Amino acid sequence: MTGCAGVFGSKPPVVAAVAPGLTSREQEIADRKEQLLQQLATCESGSWGPSERPIYGGRRAYHGRFQFTLRTFITYTRKRDGTELTTKEAAADVQDYDKAASLAWYMIYDLQEPWHWPLCSRKLGIPAQVNLIKQL
């Protein structure tokens, strides 16, 4: 047993779990959904992705790239996963592109409620685009 003491005293190696990859069809659907969210964010605020400064519209009634009201952000976050946000937390989270995009994804693709963005939804034809994505 000479030389084995180090082996028994050490921890097993950490192995990262690898999620199974998406099929090409699943990847195409995910890419199209993401592109549609980017188009929506661009339509609502002029660009998509993170911003160094907070984004406001409608005399500060709308927040972030997706121009959520704080009430809508709080209500739909609670509806999605039960998280109760304070107004202060919502004001911070709505400015986080990834968090806001995740909620917009839920509202558009899971709840099928693109009407929260009436002008850009109509301009981009979001209901028709969502139907096309469903057909893939």
In the three-class reduction of DSSP (H, G, I as helix; E, B as strand; rest coil), residue 83 is classed as coil
The predicted model gives 58-86 an average pLDDT of: 98
What is the pLDDT, as a whole number, of residue 70? Answer: 98
CB atoms within 10 A of CB 65: 27
Band of pLDDT at residue 133, cut at 50, 70 and 90: very high
Please say whether the beta carbons of 43 and 124 come within 8 A.
yes
Q: Taking the domains of the chain in order of start, what are their residue ranges? A: 23-135
Contact 41, 66 (CB under 8 A): yes
Tens of pLDDT, residues 94-113 = 999 999 999 999 999 999 99
The string of pLDDT tens digits covering residues 24-41 is 999 999 999 999 999 999
pLDDT score at 21: 86
More confident residue, 1 or 33: 33
Per-residue pLDDT, 12: 52
